């Protein structure tokens, strides 16, 4: 019995839909996404012509100024502590419930005055090779570590990108690991982001993550690398992702510790069902085991409420809080160290620790990072990145770049650490990172994994390189 007229029409429609879907799946899905970005100038005056652009790479030494140290110590001595303290269990110990623990702040104060040696830190930093080069009107600082273990083998170029409130210091232990390697040839590049550390701060607005991605691409090209691997955390994950989107022919691989998802309506539905019905809808068995009891919507919203205040402040009025942080070294230390504490621990870890959970690091590591912000006066310019990012998102101008996927040709490794701020399920991550080669779990470590777990981080990078 033949098909009725209606059935034939329906069959034809289904066939046409199948052909269109097949075309998109087989051809358009394989076509690399095409992204673009405006070329902007962030220095003083007008942008020089291409012929007049300074392409030189100049050696740089980390400066030491005794007057800065004396001024810092004087200000720390004169810190005006808040009163009164809140009594907990009949003792004047607030367990960080209201913010950075007073007792920990007092111990940091004493260490800064009596023990910490910034001059020694500067001398150690200058055992590395530092350079500066001008890109987009800004002098960009970077550390370069070149290891040549096999003379006839091409070097692997690796770009390490830090975030806030970190710095290039986060990756120096990892660089030492690579430098002691006997199996590979490496060219390690560790820059300071624009507005951070020894890199110039932008003199014009608009320095968002995509613009930083463009600057980092120019840096790698200037150093002679047409192909390289990018590794990053925090803002480094954002910037590295944009580099892989904008320059897929140059980015040989991307390793990140913080996924920047592009959530669709489907993902929100999946998240809702997984949180309120059963995690198996969204999570694989290994993910459920890794997350344990952390996959809880109520607890996570509470966590975001408590930890997200800094983001709103820095994304709306960074200069206002900048006055206070740029004026008080102990205030700056408390503001930064609170993030290092809470982003590397659970609330229980912080409350039960005698030093707010900072024992995962040495005080010299922590205060070297704080002193880098203090001596360069870059805390305000570093926080402006939040403002530029949110302003760019709100404009909708770069929506395609912010929410689009990477080209399938770019291999990706994602290292998940137990106490990282955010865990993005693998199913959702694949929507933006279609070519995930490695999906790793670490039972310890947090937001600052490269300095907290340098050996594990180094092994992850080497593991990834071996698969490229």
Does residue 285 fall inside a structural domain?
no
Look up 234 and say whether it is catalytic.
yes
pLDDT at 366 over 50: yes
How far, CA to CA in Å, does 303 sit from each of 19, 299, 306, 309?
Answer: 47, 6, 5, 11
Rounded (to 5) percent helix, strand, coil in the chain? 50, 15, 35
Look up 286 and say whether it is catalytic.
no
For residue 306, what pLDDT is reported?
85
First to last CA, the chain: 58
For residue 336, what pLDDT is reported?
98
Tokens of 355: 């030093």
Does residue 26 fall inside a structural domain?
no
Tokens of 443: 């039972």
The residues with which 132 forms a beta bridge, in sequence order, are 58, 141
pLDDT at 350 over 90: no
Average pLDDT, the chain: 89
The count of domains in the chain is: 1
Of 198, 247, 386, 387, the active-site residue reads: 386
Which of helix, strand or coil describes residue 153? Answer: coil
Q: What is the pTM of this model?
A: 0.90
* Residue 175 CB coordination number (10 Å): 24
Question: pLDDT tens across 92-130, in order?
Answer: 555 677 889 888 999 999 999 999 999 999 999 999 999
Domain that holds residue 201: 57-262+308-466
Does residue 10 fall inside a structural domain?
no
Most confident of 50-64, 165-179, 277-291, 301-315: 165-179
Tokens of 401: 């770049």
Does residue 401 fall inside a structural domain?
yes
Does residue 117 fall inside a structural domain?
yes
For residue 22, what pLDDT is reported?
55
In 202-346, which residue ranges form alpha helices assigned H by DSSP?
Answer: 209-222, 235-246, 265-276, 285-291, 297-307, 309-316, 318-327, 329-342
- Compute the distance between CA of residue 137 and CA of residue 330 in angstroms, rounded to an integer: 33
Instruction: Tell me the pairing of strands 185-191 and 251-256.
Output: unpaired
Does residue 32 fall inside a structural domain?
no
Does residue 121 fall inside a structural domain?
yes
Task: Output 38 or 250, whichever has higher pLDDT.
Answer: 250
344: domain CATH number is 3.40.50.1820
Of 141, 447, 457, 458, the active-site residue reads: 447
For residue 185, what pLDDT is reported?
87
Q: Give the pLDDT band (50/70/90) at residue 373.
A: very high
Question: pLDDT tens across 180-212, in order?
Answer: 877 778 999 999 999 999 999 999 999 999 999
Please give the order of strands across the beta sheet that includes 57-60.
57-60, 129-135, 138-148, 185-191, 156-161, 228-232, 251-256, 412-419, 436-446
Task: Output 358 or 278, whichever has higher pLDDT.
Answer: 358
Does residue 19 fall inside a structural domain?
no
Task: Output 305 or 10, whichever has higher pLDDT.
Answer: 305
Q: Give the pLDDT band (50/70/90) at residue 1.
A: very low
Of 156, 187, 200, 234, the active-site residue reads: 234
């Amino acid at each position: 019995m033949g098909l009725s007229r209606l059935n034939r029409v329906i069959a034809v429609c289904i066939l046409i839909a199948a052909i269109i879907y097949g075309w998109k799946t087989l051809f358009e899905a394989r076509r690399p996404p095409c992204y673009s970005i405006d070329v902007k100038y962030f220095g003083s005056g007008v942008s020089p012509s291409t012929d007049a652009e300074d392409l030189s790479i100049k050696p740089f030494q980390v400066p030491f100024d005794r007057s800065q140290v004396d001024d810092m110590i004087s200000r720390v001595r004169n810190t005006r502590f808040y009163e009164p303290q809140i009594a907990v269990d009949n003792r004047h110990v607030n367990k960080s419930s209201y913010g950075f623990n007073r007792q920990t702040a007092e111990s940091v104060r004493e260490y800064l005055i009596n023990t910490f040696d910034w001059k020694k830190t500067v001398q150690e930093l200058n055992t590395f090779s530092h350079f500066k080069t001008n890109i987009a009107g800004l002098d960009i600082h970077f550390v370069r570590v070149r290891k040549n273990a096999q003379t006839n083998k091409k070097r692997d170029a690796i770009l390490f990108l830090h975030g806030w409130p970190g710095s290039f210091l986060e990756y120096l232990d990892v660089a030492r690991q690579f430098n002691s390697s006997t199996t590979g040839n490496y060219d390690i590049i560790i820059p300071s982001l624009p507005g951070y550390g020894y890199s110039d701060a932008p003199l014009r607005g608009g320095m968002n993550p995509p613009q930083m991605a463009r600057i980092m691409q120019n840096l790698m090209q200037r150093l002679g690398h047409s192909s390289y691997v990018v590794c990053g955390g925090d803002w480094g994950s954002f910037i590295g992702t944009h580099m892989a989107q904008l320059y897929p022919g140059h980015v040989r691989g991307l390793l990140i510790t913080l996924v920047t998802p592009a959530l669709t309506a489907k993902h929100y539905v999946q998240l809702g069902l997984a949180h309120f019905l059963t995690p198996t809808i969204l999570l694989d068995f290994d993910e459920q085991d890794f997350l344990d009891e952390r996959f809880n919507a109520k607890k996570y919203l509470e966590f975001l409420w408590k930890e997200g205040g800094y983001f709103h402040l820095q994304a709306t009025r960074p200069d206002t809080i900048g006055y206070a942080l740029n004026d008080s070294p102990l205030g700056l230390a408390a503001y930064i160290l609170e993030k290092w504490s809470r982003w590397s621990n659970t609330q229980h870890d912080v409350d039960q620790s005698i030093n707010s959970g900072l024992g995962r690091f040495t005080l010299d590591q922590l205060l070297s990072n704080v002193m880098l912000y203090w001596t360069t006066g870059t805390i305000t310019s570093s926080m402006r990145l939040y403002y530029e990012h949110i302003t760019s998102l709100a404009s909708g101008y770069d929506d395609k770049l912010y929410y689009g996927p990477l080209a399938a040709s770019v291999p990706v490794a994602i290292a998940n650490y137990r106490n990282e701020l955010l865990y993005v399920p693998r199913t959702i991550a694949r929507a933006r990172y279609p070519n995930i080669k490695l999906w790793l779990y670490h039972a310890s470590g947090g937001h600052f994994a490269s300095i907290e777990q340098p050996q594990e981080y180094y092994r992850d990078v080497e593991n990834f390189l071996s698969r490229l």
